[in-house]
């Protein structure tokens, strides 16, 4: 969806108009019929409410939508304004209208407020219809342009920054939504190279032979059952001081997860195309940072594999040697994400000496049992880093909830024949997974592990997304960079 800023106070001729309305503050200049209709339908301007009517002015009938922005002084004002923008896209995306005028005057909005409305509209208007060849006309997206009128001073410049963020969120959604026969390790890399071209990001790719030479036995063990070779994708953005060590974002990129020999149940296995949601979030974040020219040094690393159960696949009971030299008894081949991450994190630390490491992974079903689809889990060896990420989550809407780490949990993954095993008992499954990853973090390196299993895919529409990929993680990491790396 394109956002187009129109000079002057009036909407383009013959265009439907949406007006932003604060709660319990219906505009005094409303047409009498539209006003009465709004009252009759109990429209009060609550966040996300929408009332549609028609106005006859000068012999021309104009379609008018009143869109609720919630209370003007609400603590969650930005969230309410995003819901207002999202309501517009949800209503008119497939309405037949090619363009809609969005009137931002009269609601006392600041430039930041206006941008929140636009971001909500842009994100809620995203869809991937590549493979839907027989959609009825009334279901096809028609709304191509929002024509913004009455924008507060500074809105257009502020939107240029948020548009870059929207690009990143949409790229993450695209990667997660594509089927596994389209996005696999090699094609994930190719898609990222294409999308990041010309942004100033440096890209490095490791293939299977290079990973073998480096001793990445843990990651390669996961990949050995697939005919599709694994990849490490590194994306480097140097927008900060030359003296600043980068912060590293490391994403789990299992492009399809059958569970391997520890095969998953057939029902619902199609969802495992989104088991690369952590890697997608990292790639989307890097695109956003580069497009908005973030003043920070960041490296994004994706460990990309496909977990399949063929005759060459890793067996339960196998012992592999990680790049760090630590050995792992593979008890369950469906606990594969941590096996990918440990080598990706080791390589990242050796290659880039990051100031901090933050990994994102759709790691455990136990996290969904714990938190549902409202928060992702965070584990960290550094209280300051954890607090910064939780704050960024609250500010961005990509919320986090902290879980414990400790020696008692760590003992649960000790192995009788190797340095560790890749799973502990059923209880505390998300915690023992985090304890496993922590064993590969260099001493003194601040680290946080984000288990985003319940957040990258939605079975019903949310605040700024339709059913499907949410793009979770991009806004969180971007906000963390803005607040704590850019100053």
- Active-site residue set: 264, 338
CA angle 373, 374, 380 (to 5 degrees): 100
CA 23, 28, 33, 39 torsion-angle sign: positive
Tokens of 265: 């149940």
Other beta carbons within 10 angstroms of residue 16's beta carbon come to 19
Per-state percent for the chain, helix, strand, coil, to nearest 5: 35, 20, 45
Element (H, E) at 68: strand 60-68
- Find, among 336, 193, 333, the residue nearest to 276 by Cα: 336
- Size of the chain in residues: 487
Asked if residues 278 and 362 have their Cβ atoms less than 8 Å apart, the reply is: yes
How far apart are alpha carbons 463 and 470 in whole angstroms? 10
How far apart are alpha carbons 277 and 279 in whole angstroms? 5
CA 190, 191, 194, 197 torsion-angle sign: negative
- Paired residues of 237 in beta bridges: 298
Q: Per residue in 419-436, is it b (16+ CB within 10 Å) or e — as a string?
A: bbbbbbeeebbbbbbbbb
How far apart are alpha carbons 337 and 319 in whole angstroms? 16
Distance of CA 32 to the CA centre of its chain: 43
Tokens of 328: 């792992």
3-class DSSP assignment, residue 14: coil
CA angle 58, 59, 61 (to 5 degrees): 100
101, HSE (Cβ side, Cα atoms, 13 Å):
19
Asked if residues 287 and 220 have their Cβ atoms less than 8 Å apart, the reply is: no
CA angle 365, 366, 370 (to 5 degrees): 120
- Find, among 223, 309, 321, 221, the residue nearest to 262 by Cα: 309
């Amino acid at each position: 969806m394109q956002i187009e800023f129109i000079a002057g106070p009036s909407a383009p001729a013959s265009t439907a108009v949406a007006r932003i309305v604060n709660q319990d503050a219906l505009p005094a200049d409303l047409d009498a019929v539209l006003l009465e209709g709004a009252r009759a339908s109990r429209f009060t301007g609550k966040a996300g409410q929408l009332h549609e009517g028609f106005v006859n002015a000068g012999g021309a009938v104009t379609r008018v939508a009143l869109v609720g922005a919630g209370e003007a002084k609400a603590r969650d004002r930005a969230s309410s304004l995003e819901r207002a923008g999202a309501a517009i896209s949800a209503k008119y995306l497939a309405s037949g209208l090619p363009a809609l005028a969005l009137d931002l005057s009269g609601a006392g909005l600041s430039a930041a407020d206006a941008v929140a409305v636009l971001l909500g509209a842009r994100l809620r208007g995203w869809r991937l219809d590549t493979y839907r060849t027989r959609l009825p006309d009334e279901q096809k997206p028609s709304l191509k342009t929002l024509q913004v009128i009455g924008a507060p001073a500074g809105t257009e410049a502020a939107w240029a920054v948020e548009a870059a963020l929207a690009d990143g969120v949409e790229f993450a959604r695209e990667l997660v939504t594509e089927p596994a026969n389209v996005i696999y390790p090699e094609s994930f890399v190719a898609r990222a190279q294409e999308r990041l071209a010309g942004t100033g990001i440096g890209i490095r790719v490791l293939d299977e032979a290079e990973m073998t030479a480096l001793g990445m036995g843990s990651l390669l063990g996961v990949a050995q059952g697939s005919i599709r070779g694994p990849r490490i994708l590194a994306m480097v953005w140097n927008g900060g001081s030359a003296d600043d060590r980068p912060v590293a974002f490391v994403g789990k990129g299992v492009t399809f997860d059958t569970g391997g020999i520890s095969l998953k149940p057939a029902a619902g296995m199609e969802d495992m195309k989104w088991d690369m949601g952590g890697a997608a979030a990292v790639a989307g974040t890097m695109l956003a940072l580069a497009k908005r020219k973030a003043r920070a040094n960041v490296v994004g690393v994706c460990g990309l594999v496909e977990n399949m159960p063929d005759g060459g696949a890793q067996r339960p009971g196998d012992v592999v040697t990680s790049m760090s030299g630590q050995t792992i008894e593979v008890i369950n081949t469906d606990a594969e994400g941590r096996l990918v991450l440990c080598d990706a994190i080791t390589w990242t630390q050796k290659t880039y000496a990051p100031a901090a490491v933050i990994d994102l992974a759709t790691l455990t079903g136990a996290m969904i049992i714990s938190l549902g689809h409202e928060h992702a889990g965070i584990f960290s060896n550094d209280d300051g880093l954890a607090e910064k990420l939780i704050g960024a989550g609250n500010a961005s809407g990509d919320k986090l909830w902290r879980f414990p780490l400790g020696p008692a949990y760590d003992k649960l993954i000790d192995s009788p024949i190797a340095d560790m095993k890749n799973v502990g008992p059923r209880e505390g499954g998300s915690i023992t997974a985090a304890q496993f990853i922590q064993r590969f973090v260099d001493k003194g390196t601040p680290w946080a592990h984000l288990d985003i299993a319940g957040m990258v895919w939605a079975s019903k529409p949310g605040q700024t997304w339709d059913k499907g990929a949410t793009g979770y993680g991009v806004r969180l990491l971007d906000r963390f960079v803005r607040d704590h790396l850019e100053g």
